[in-house]
Amino acid sequence: MKIGNVEVRHGLFLAPMAGFSDRAMRRVCHEMGAEYSVSEMISAKAVTFGDKKTFSLATIKEDEGPVALQIFGSEPDVIGRAAEILTQKDWASFGLASPVAIDINMGCPVHKIFSNGEGSALMRDPELIYRIVRAVKESTYLPVTVKHRTGVDSSHINAVECALAAEAGGAELITVHGRTKTQMYSGGVDRETIKKVKNSLHIPVIANGDILSADDAISMLKDTGSDGIAIGRGAVGNPFIFSEIRSALCGESFTPPTLEEKVDVALWQLRLAIEDKGEEKAVPEARKQIASYLHSFRGAAQIRAKINRALTYGEIEQIFTEALKEENQY
């Protein structure tokens, strides 16, 4: 599968996650086998205002692999202008990589986004979806992609209609999270609706939702017929999942990481975050991600509590060192 000039051989995507899919996570996941990543969501309106914090979310380094920038908004002209600004910005002059696509968020279920008519609220109006995609398509030479859900609630499952509107507007790829807005991130994933979207479109469709292992990935691909999978929460604290899935797709054996390897990668991700944001900001922001690497440790809850109080890299490194020492006693 190709998205613009980018070949995504095995269909392995890192899904966008606000507060998670930052540069450090994208770099680590790329190293572990993610072939394509999507940034944290970026406010289109803030881009047009020239907000510096917003532009920091849009920066990409060469070693992250192909990265699309995800923008959100509800006004076609504003979101189109934001796409134009992000496309035309001279990223190379700052030593940064350019985005490989513009992704439009039509799936965020968070109340403050939804109540503003953005994110998953756009699924209430397929005609507006068409106009937004069309506006972005006319504002950038980059591929335009869309991520949405199955619908707003169980009484309004209209993913096919929304996907067709996006395709008609010029979208070159659709990612479907198999839940409604009201489900948020819980409840079963509706693979049947993802399959219906896939069977209705002429462009690639990526399946998203509850992919926590290679078995989940293989069954998702089989059940939906999708062209690839987007992994979000399943990659938090477990970037190794991309290597696991790629091995399964290629019929190769996979050796799970040792506890020592998990610690090494967790600390590497933290160092990348510190390099990017500075220790004072990076450590508090990264705690939830770093603590997720502890899933298979004995006494993980107590160790996480210690990490959640840590303020420096040195403190977290010491916590991990002590945790490994405890593990090796068994």
Q: Are 106 and 71 in contact (CB under 8 A)?
A: no
Told to judge if 250 belongs to the known catalytic residues of this protein, a careful annotator would answer no
Which is catalytic among the residues 29, 108, 162, 250? 108
Tell me which residues are annotated as active site.
Answer: 108
